[in-house]
């Protein structure tokens, strides 16, 4: 029996997650506002790549309220708060296709769990969910509750094995892209 999609995504990307986690921490994003600003620039690039997926009509039919979940607006406000300018990627913008989009969404929504830890760190720089660290705030219905609901929606999608493979590949690509973004900024 196949694992539910959300569990397969977790299993498949655990190692990559841990390497992203270590890479982010190695840039000491909360050591100074300057370092945090770079982290914001990375989040901005990442969320800009995801925006077309969050806005996609077909995915919005399949995943309720999807377009509301993009954190790009909050990131822009965080950047304005701290006078940080967006940067562009040197490489071409990835363009996830088909069911790869699911893996990208998994990666993006899941990153909000780790944000619970980052949020606390941000307080040390006097940042909060109303100044500079808005994009790290919990979903209004609560981080875990929202995450469970999101995973249920993923698990409710009926995918062929090829589509499932695309979703797993998408998660891998998303984590790998985030790593390249972090290295660039």
The reply on whether position 39 binds ligand HEM by CB under 6 A is no
In whole angstroms, how close is the CB of 27 to ligand HEM at the nearest point?
A: 9
The two tokens of residue 29 are 């994003």
Q: How far apart are CA 105 and CA 147, in angstroms?
A: 12
Binder to ligand HEM among 15, 19, 21, 126 (CB under 6 A)?
A: 21
Binding flags for ligand HEM, 87-126, as an x/- string (CB under 6 A): -------------------xx--xx-xx--x---------
Nearer to ligand HEM, 15 or 61 (CB): 15
The reply on whether position 25 binds ligand HEM by CB under 6 A is yes
Q: Which of residues 116-175 bind ligand HEM (CB under 6 A)?
A: 117, 175
In whole angstroms, how close is the CB of 126 to ligand HEM at the nearest point?
A: 20
φ and ψ at 165, to 5 degrees? Answer: -60, -40
Nearer to ligand HEM, 10 or 62 (CB): 10
Q: How far apart are CA 101 and CA 115, in angstroms?
A: 21
The two tokens of residue 26 are 């190695």
DSSP letter for each residue of 6-62:
HHHHHHHHHHHHHHHHHHHHHT-TTS-HHHHHHHHHHHHHHHHHHHHHHH-HHHHHH
| Torsion 83-113-19-118 (CA) sign | positive
Interface with ligand HEM (CB under 6 A), residue total: 15
Nearer to ligand HEM, 84 or 109 (CB): 109
Q: Give the residue closest to ligand HEM by C-beta.
A: 110
Half-sphere exposure of residue 98, counting CA atoms within 13 Å on the CB side?
A: 11
Task: List contacts with ligand HEM (CB under 6 A).
Answer: 10, 17, 20-21, 24-25, 106-107, 110-111, 113-114, 117, 175, 178
């Amino acid at each position: 029996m196949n694992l539910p999609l959300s569990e397969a995504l977790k299993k498949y990307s655990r190692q990559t997650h841990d390497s992203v986690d270590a890479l982010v921490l190695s840039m000491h994003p909360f050591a100074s506002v300057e370092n945090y600003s770079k982290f914001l620039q990375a989040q901005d690039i990442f969320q800009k790549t995801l925006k077309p997926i969050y806005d996609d009509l077909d995915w919005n039919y399949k995943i309720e309220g999807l377009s509301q979940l993009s954190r790009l607006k909050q990131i822009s406000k965080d950047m304005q708060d701290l006078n940080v300018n967006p940067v562009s990627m040197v490489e071409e913008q990835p363009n996830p296709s088909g069911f790869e989009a699911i893996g990208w969404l998994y990666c993006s929504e899941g990153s909000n769990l780790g944000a619970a830890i980052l949020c606390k760190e941000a307080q040390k720089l006097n940042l909060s969910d109303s100044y500079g660290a808005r994009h790290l705030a919990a979903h209004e219905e609560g981080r875990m509750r929202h995450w469970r609901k999101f995973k249920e929606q993923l698990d409710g999608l009926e995918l062929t094995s090829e589509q499932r493979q695309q979703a797993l590949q998408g998660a891998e690509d998303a984590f790998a892209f985030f790593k390249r973004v972090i290295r660039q900024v």
